[in-house]
Structure 1
Amino acid sequence: MNKRSARRAPAGRSTTKPAASNPFAFIAAALLSAGSVAGIYLLFVRTTVGQLVGEGALREAELNETRISSGLQDFLDLLPLISAVLAAAFILFVTLARRRWTAAGIAVAAAIGANLTTQVLKEVLQRPELGVQTLGSNSLPSGHATLAASSAAAVFLVVSPRWRPLAAALGGSYAVVAGAATLINLWHRPADVMVAFLVVGTWTAIAGWVIMRVGTVWNVWSGFGEHWAASRVWPAGTAAVGLVIGLIAVLFVLVSTPTLSTPATSERLPLLYWAGLAMIISSGYVLTSLGTLLFARAARIRR
């Protein structure tokens, strides 16, 4: 046996780099998400312009109600049940089939933590009176958006690295649809949904590092491209959609600035409404892409 053969790993094993050996990326992601929650609250709730943008989106949504609204109303009514059943069924399957008991427990705990955080923030955060005609009570963050996003994140946490890019794209899309539905049905302002996504992102980053450390056996892959579900198309596609739609949101808000304080009318283009939808879509997909890349880099690589 030559030296090269002697250095090879035993059959059935592969040399790897440690999974999530450095917690910095996960800690940074959690802090960035939490900081963004504070930033969005200060911008869209504590400033006059921010309140005008949110209320403008709601008023224009009310003036532009369509038939799709009734369908989304039914979807929102069933959302808690749909999210719980889908997440529970998938996590139970993975737990029983792959024996990922610890990961499942951590993922469920993170989902519960995200939803409890949302309810606490609703009570703690105040919406000051700034001369904008608005509901007096605070509606930030959105409970329905948190529930949808946290359910998708729980599934994302327990699947193997090769399936995470696909799971992120599908789960992110589910969360985006749920979040957009709350605006279309006049339940929440755009900022409420964006903060909900960020609350879930904070908990997912914290739980993710723990899962990557305890799930050392199954958090291993060969990198992007080893499987169709692990294609780079998923994070690249969600990032592209998020960034393009985000630019559209900024453009629509800038164009609407001269009329922010003017009551919405049916004759005026509903730019703030479309801007609000664009904010929700953009934030959901950008976070989806960043989360995919974060976990992809932390997973162990086969050598």
Structure 2
Amino acid sequence: MTMNPTAQQSPTAAPGRALWPWYGALLLLAAAFWACYSFFVTTKLGQWIDEAALRGGEAFLAADKTRGPALAFLDHMPAASALLAAGFILFALVRRHDFVRPIVAGALLLGSAGSTQLLKHVVLERPDLNISEASMNSFPSGHTTFAAAAMATIFIVTPVAHRPLLALLGWGYAAVAGASTLVLGWHRPSDVIAAYLVVAWWSVLAGLFLRHAHGSSAAPATTGNQTRAAPERILRFLAILGIPMAAGALALAVAMPHPAIGTVGNVQLLLFLAVGLALVLGTAMVAGQFVHVLFARYGAPIRRRFVRGMK
């Protein structure tokens, strides 16, 4: 009987090739982060657009009655996000006897939050270009990083069948958290975008580690029903919408006049706030779809126990 060599070797052939998308994604996200920093933080035009969007947020929510509940939401967001992530990690440990993914998910959360603080306070600097009164570096946003990273930890420990819904809800939550920091005048758009890129980078690193740990003997489970699931279609649609929305908003911001920042009226500031929101929301949806597709196509299978058959 003649055996088909392709069928025999397909699960294990060229194992290193299956890891190329992960390494490529890490490089792409790192390049996007550096491009975001280089333009929005180190150039006068980028700082101007960032600052105009921030001042637009301050002008939009100037009333104390409006700001109070929103500020309370931001104050409690890190703790609420951490509790939610911890609950899912604990469930994976106790209910499914899964040890590897919860540990990796915890490392993702700590790595994202820690690297954000390191980048913000030690590695990166914000040059004073006479645009902003605040010269202290706020890039990336710590609040947004924690919110997005908490959702990413839940995504890591969630079974494959439920990941499209978790990706949609998780990155939707991260988008709301990032938009809130902009509207309330806590962070500039680039701070939020950088936070998404940091979390996406750590999510990819976690996925790469799991792919190494679980090997390439089994492909991730995908079915026609999962591919056509409503949450996955919605996330894909939002990502497709987010690309031209963010690109168009940035092109509009670059094309508009940039007078002395203190002379810009409220109408123009609100327009730049809309630009900032488009950049934030568009980036969140694209990042969510990017991570989800990478895990769906190239991710390692979930194993409910670290050692098969362990009692």
TM (norm. structure 1) is 0.86
Deviates more, 1:220-229 or 1:119-128: 220-229
Indicate how the Cα distance of structure 1 residues 109 and 210 shifts in structure 2: closer, same or farther if over 3 A, else same: same
Q: State whether residues 256 and 271 of structure 1, in contact with CA within 8 Å, keep that contact through their aligned partners in structure 2.
A: no
Whole-Å separation in 2 of the counterparts to 1:25 and 1:279: 25
Amino acid corresponding to residue 158 of structure 1 in structure 2: V
Whole-Å separation in 1 of the counterparts to 2:241 and 2:67: 24
SS in 2 for 1:41: helix
Residue of structure 1 in register with 2:159 after alignment: 160
Pick from 55, 60, 75: which aligns with 1:59? 55
Residue of structure 1 in register with 2:265 after alignment: 265
SS in 2 for 1:71: helix
Q: State whether residues 20 and 299 of structure 1, in contact with CA within 8 Å, keep that contact through their aligned partners in structure 2.
A: no
Amino acid corresponding to residue 170 of structure 2 in structure 1: G
Pick from 14, 21, 36: which aligns with 1:40? 36
Deviations 1:50-106 (A, max 9, x none): 110111111121112166533221110101111001111112112322222111101
1:245 offset after TM fit, Å? Answer: 2.6
Deviations 1:132-175 (A, max 9, x none): 13301100110000000111111111112222221111100011
Amino acid corresponding to residue 173 of structure 1 in structure 2: G
Deviates more, 1:101-110 or 1:154-163: 154-163
Deviations 1:169-211 (A, max 9, x none): 1100011111111111111100001111111111111111212
Amino acid corresponding to residue 97 of structure 2 in structure 1: R
Deviates more, 1:148-157 or 1:90-99: 90-99
SS in 2 for 1:187: coil
Whole-Å separation in 2 of the counterparts to 1:55 and 1:299: 39
Residue of structure 2 in register with 1:143 after alignment: 142
TM (norm. structure 2) is 0.84
Mind listing any 5+ residue stretches in structure 2 that lack a counterpart? 302-311
| Structure in which a larger fraction of residues adopt helix | 2
Whole-Å separation in 2 of the counterparts to 1:20 and 1:297: 15
Indicate how the Cα distance of structure 1 residues 52 and 224 shifts in structure 2: closer, same or farther if over 3 A, else same: farther
Whole-Å separation in 2 of the counterparts to 1:241 and 1:208: 26
Residue of structure 1 in register with 2:277 after alignment: 277
Indicate how the Cα distance of structure 1 residues 275 and 20 shifts in structure 2: closer, same or farther if over 3 A, else same: farther
Residue of structure 1 in register with 2:288 after alignment: 288
What is the root-mean-square deviation of aligned Cα atoms in Å? 2.8
Question: What percentage of residue pairs aligned between the two structures are identical?
Answer: 33
Q: State whether residues 165 and 234 of structure 1, in contact with CA within 8 Å, keep that contact through their aligned partners in structure 2.
A: no
Amino acid corresponding to residue 22 of structure 1 in structure 2: A
Whole-Å separation in 1 of the counterparts to 2:172 and 2:185: 20
Residue of structure 1 in register with 2:221 after alignment: 221
Pick from 78, 82, 85: which aligns with 1:84? 82
Amino acid corresponding to residue 28 of structure 1 in structure 2: G
Counterparts of 1:1-303 in structure 2 under 5 Å?
Answer: 17=11, 22-65=18-61, 68-123=66-121, 124-215=123-214, 220-226=220-226, 232-259=232-259, 261=261, 263-268=263-268, 270-299=270-299
Whole-Å separation in 2 of the counterparts to 1:230 and 1:100: 28
Q: State whether residues 253 and 271 of structure 1, in contact with CA within 8 Å, keep that contact through their aligned partners in structure 2.
A: no
Whole-Å separation in 2 of the counterparts to 1:96 and 1:55: 47
1:42 offset after TM fit, Å? Answer: 0.8
Mind listing any 5+ residue stretches in structure 1 that lack a counterpart? 8-14
Residue of structure 1 in register with 2:308 after alignment: none
Whole-Å separation in 1 of the counterparts to 2:10 and 2:150: 31
